[in-house]
Amino acid sequence: MADPPKSLEDRIRDAVASGEFVKAKALWVELGDRLRRELNGRPLPAARLRQTHELLAWCRTMAVIDRTRCQQRLNQLAVSSRYLAPLSPRQRLLARF
């Protein structure tokens, strides 16, 4: 038996958790459109707004963590590159024609 399709919120969590931020952004646009349609003419229940707020806060935290991890990796690369022997001009060429 096939698994039921994931909710839009779960798909956003999956995309953010896997670092697919472009996909997550597109899913957030889809969620925003859905919320606008739901808001048309009636207020959303407080529980629904709270759920969306919690998802937004979680996504923000994950993005900050990922940015920090990337910055640490860049810093490590910058430090390790200082210990490499300088390359000769010939070694710096990526391709010769």
> How far is the first Cα of the chain from the last one, in angstroms, to the nearest whole number?
57
User: Taking all residues of the chain, what is their mean pLDDT, rounded to a whole number?
Assistant: 87
Contact 74, 31 (CB under 8 A): no
- Give domain limits for the chain: 8-73
Contact 93, 50 (CB under 8 A): no
- Note the pLDDT of residue 80: 83
Q: What is the pTM of this model?
A: 0.72
Residue 35 has pLDDT above 70, yes or no: yes
Rounded Cα distance, 89 and 94, in Å: 11
Confidence of residue 79 (pLDDT cuts 50, 70, 90): confident
Give Cα separations from 32 to 25, 29, 42 (angstroms): 10, 5, 16
